[in-house]
Chain A
């Protein structure tokens, strides 16, 4: 039996190998993603965001690892949109629109060695080499065909809820730095949000990154706080954060009211990392 309070879905379905869930990463790969965050810094938004996605995929793999086996609690789709719209993983998984987390584990494009700073109990810091698997490379070309990308995400999510009618619904994590140039995406976003399993509607969270140094707005419950029509459009495209996601956000130090939308405007790098953390870890306890 599923509990619905005040008519709202409850997002409590267990996630298991027989009832997995789906994460769709929707990445803006338009030319402007080549610019750095906040108009400064050496790292482009595209490079930072691909790193952030790689880190999320890494964490999902580790979370699914039991002894020497990776259990397929999650399925993953990474869709990029820019010069083309389609699967955005590199290496052996290139061209695959939907892959299991076990395949993600076994087939990174490559594993880089990076250095990680760690502090010991006395506060002394040192660096140590860590393996950093890469599945997604940065890309930034051409325009922003957001509607085509949302259509792909909608098709994937629709097929998923049809195949998994009682499971935890798909979560779409969308990163963009600009306005759609192939139409108004609001209708598609509404259609995505209307898709549902018995556990809840499909979730779509949007994160807007900015080249400007404008103040970020995180998870607003009220669109009137937003600076312009574009921000209000992205707000309307976003799902309200279910309670377990809102709790994750609050555990990360954010103060959110009920009704907070899964939406960040003018995100800086730390807000992007938090966005992925909230979007991808809130379901960890359902395994």
Chain B
């Protein structure tokens, strides 16, 4: 167990699209506290078995050995995709399910690796699509990766495909970014609807972000649900599945 993991405070929140059941929820959160490795993934609604694909990506990525590289990500995605398609090819599927399965599944992905170097805490993020890492400090947003503007959401992003033939092209768009954590940094991994909303709120005076962060940190899920449902009703938050993972550290001691 690392020193950082001792001081780490994790909280997460999931909410399905309004009007949908939990069984239809297609986002996923992966947590490996010991390895300081975290991920969110967002299965593309229009593709086949996207919830399963998002879960596979998030849970397997956090279980991978420490370190991030595009090559390792490609190997993992290739292995997981092949396994999934093999499973589907063995299943007896109706004509439409078989055809949809052949087109594969897609998911947006954002992963975060934290690593201690002496007193320093370094972070590395890897992402494809519109799931994002936000870094907030002292009420200000200091990082938004890979998308940094609300205008960048809403188009069809390139996502992680399960189908091997689609992987080389899609994964060539993988984005990686590194940074050094500062005392007080709060890391937030979010799927697209929440990320787009968060970016808009960050630019607004009198936004609800302080309340949002307090509710999230204190795991007040009922109150957080009410807040986000109100934001949906006001059409400030797009009605989509939500996955948010918050990683913060107690202030005691240096980073």
Q: Which residues of A contact B (CB under 8 A)?
A: 1, 3, 14, 16, 18-19, 61-63, 65-68, 70, 105-106, 111, 131, 133, 284, 287
Contacts and interface: CB of A to CB of B under 8 A. Distances in A.
Chain B CB within 10 A, most for which of A19, A62, A287: A62
B100 A65 contact: yes
A16 B19 contact: yes
Contacts of A131: 95, 99
Contacts of A3: 235
10 contacts: A1-B235, A14-B239, A65-B96, A67-B48, A67-B52, A67-B97, A68-B97, A105-B96, A131-B95, A287-B46
Given A14-B239, A16-B20, A287-B45, A62 B100 contact: yes
A133 B95 contact: yes
A61 B48 contact: no
A112 B106 CA distance: 29
Interface in B158-177: none
Contact of B46 (A18, A68, A105, A284): A284
Interface residues of B, number: 22
Main secondary structure of the interface of A (DSSP, over half): mixed
A111 B19 contact: no
Nearest to B156: A285
Nearest to A120: B165
B112 interface: no
B49 interface: yes
B178 interface: no
A68 B19 contact: no
B1 interface: no
Contacts of A14: 19, 239
Contacts of B93: 68
Contact of B96 (A1, A61, A284): A61
Contacts of A68: 93-94, 97
Nearest to B91: A68
Q: What 7 pairs across the A-B complex have the smallest Cβ distances?
A: A65-B100, A67-B49, A68-B97, A65-B96, A105-B96, A61-B96, A18-B19
Nearest to A108: B95
A65 B48 contact: yes
A106 B97 contact: no
A106 B94 contact: yes
B236 to A, nearest CB: 11
Chain B CB within 10 A, most for which of A18, A66, A105, A287: A66
Nearest to A133: B95
A174 B97 CA distance: 29
A66 B50 CA distance: 8
Contacts of A284: 46
Contacts of B49: 66-67
Contacts of B46: 63, 284, 287
A209 to B, nearest CB: 29
